[in-house]
């Protein structure tokens, strides 16, 4: 199939982190496998779980037997749609709207999970935002944008992990969403790329801090994936060509990334901590 056949129609959304309901074509998020109860009896909290990679992770983990709690900003239609698909897998789904950039909210969200399920086994830090610059460098980035990007993309990870670790026990797992930009950089996404590099270091350092508690911490660094963040971040032309320059010549789908999160959350990855998986369409990176 040619690269042209893999292009998306030009489209643009004006608000972060974007709405899946407005995308054409819709991202593919349903699992391609039969569940094997790899997460049976577990509870997973997924930030940014209403759409994109987060939605796919929620449905994939539900298929493996986990009850799900989703934290999202205010995209209620997307969140309700994700809940319906989780419940179709026979699992419970708790929706929690709020801003992960605020530490108090993160504590409240974890408290609601414990109140609803009385346990927390898996934390997926996935919420993010990004803003495209014109490639002119750091001078293009306002203080407000810089602060907002860091507060959401890395402060939020700290806040949520700190709150969750009060309740997580031996055998629990944290999976963080990094990005190929942490390794390659991107001149139009200097602040976003910097936060993703911070997430890699956060993952490695936290894994060392928690190894004696037998709580594993790993990350997934996706390449160009078709999610609402893309039309909410880039202009029509770049959105249409998203993923075309990957070695595979196309953008990936959320259900091509979500199995990495499932693997890192379950017992099959019991000897992995401080590591990063790279579903990126064939780009070779170190680390």
CATH number for the domain harbouring residue 106: 3.40.50.720
**C-alpha span between 163 and 111 (Å, rounded):** 8
Judged against a pLDDT cut of 50, whether residue 281 lies above it is answered with yes
**Burial of residue 209, with CB atoms counted within 10 A of its CB: 0-12 exposed, 13-18 middle, 19 or more buried:** exposed
Instruction: Report whether pLDDT(122) > 90.
Output: yes
Looking at 159, 167, 192, 271, which residue is catalytic?
Answer: 192
Residue 9, pLDDT > 50, answer yes
Known active-site residue 192: yes
Residue 30 falls inside a structural domain: no
pLDDT above 70 covers a percentage of the chain that reads: 83
Residue 208 clears pLDDT 90, i.e. is over it? yes
Question: Is pLDDT of 68 > 60?
Answer: yes
Provide the residue range defining the domain that includes 170. Answer: 36-276
- Residue 3 located in a structural domain: no
Find the mean pLDDT for residues 211-237: 81
Whole-number pLDDT of residue 225 = 86
Mean pLDDT along residues 257-281 = 98
Give yes or no for a contact between 151 and 158, defined as CB atoms under 8 angstroms apart: no
> Does some domain include residue 240?
yes
| pLDDT for position 251 | 76
Q: Which pLDDT belongs to residue 3?
A: 40
What is the reported pLDDT for 32? Answer: 82
Q: What is the pLDDT of residue 241?
A: 64
Q: How many independent structural domains does the chain possess?
A: 1
pTM of the model as a whole: 0.89
- The CA distance from 131 to 229, in Å, is 9
Q: Is residue 205 part of a domain?
A: yes
Tell me what the pLDDT averaged over the chain comes to. Answer: 89
Is 99 inside a domain boundary? yes
């Amino acid at each position: 199939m040619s690269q042209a056949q893999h292009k998306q129609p030009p489209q643009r959304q004006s608000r972060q982190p974007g709405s899946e309901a407005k995308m054409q074509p819709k991202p593919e998020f349903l699992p391609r496998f039969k569940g094997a109860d790899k997460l049976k009896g577990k509870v997973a909290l997924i930030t940014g779980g209403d759409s994109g990679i987060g939605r796919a992770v929620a449905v994939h983990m539900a298929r493996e037997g986990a009850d799900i709690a989703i934290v999202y900003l205010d995209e209620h239609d997307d969140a309700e749609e994700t809940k319906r698909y989780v419940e179709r897998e026979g699992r419970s789904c708790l929706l929690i709207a709020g801003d992960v950039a605020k530490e108090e909210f993160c504590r409240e969200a974890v408290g609601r999970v414990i109140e609803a399920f009385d346990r927390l086994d898996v934390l997926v830090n996935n919420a993010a935002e990004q803003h495209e610059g014109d490639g002119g460098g750091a001078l293009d980035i306002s203080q407000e944008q810089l602060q907002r990007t860091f507060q959401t993309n890395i402060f939020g990870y700290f806040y949520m992990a700190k709150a969750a670790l009060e309740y997580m026990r031996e055998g629990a797992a944290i999976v963080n969403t990094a990005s190929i930009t942490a390794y390659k950089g991107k001149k139009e996404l200097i602040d976003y790329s910097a936060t993703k590099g911070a997430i890699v270091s956060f993952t490695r350092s936290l894994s060392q801090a928690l190894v004696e508690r037998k709580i594993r911490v790993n990350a997934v660094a996706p390449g160009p994936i078709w999610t609402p963040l893309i039309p909410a971040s880039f202009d029509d032309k770049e959105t249409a060509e998203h993923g075309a320059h990957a070695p595979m010549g196309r953008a990936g789908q959320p259900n091509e990334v979500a199995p990495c999160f499932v693997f890192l959350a379950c017992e099959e990855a019991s000897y992995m901590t401080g590591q990063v998986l790279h579903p990126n369409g064939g780009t070779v990176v170190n680390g």
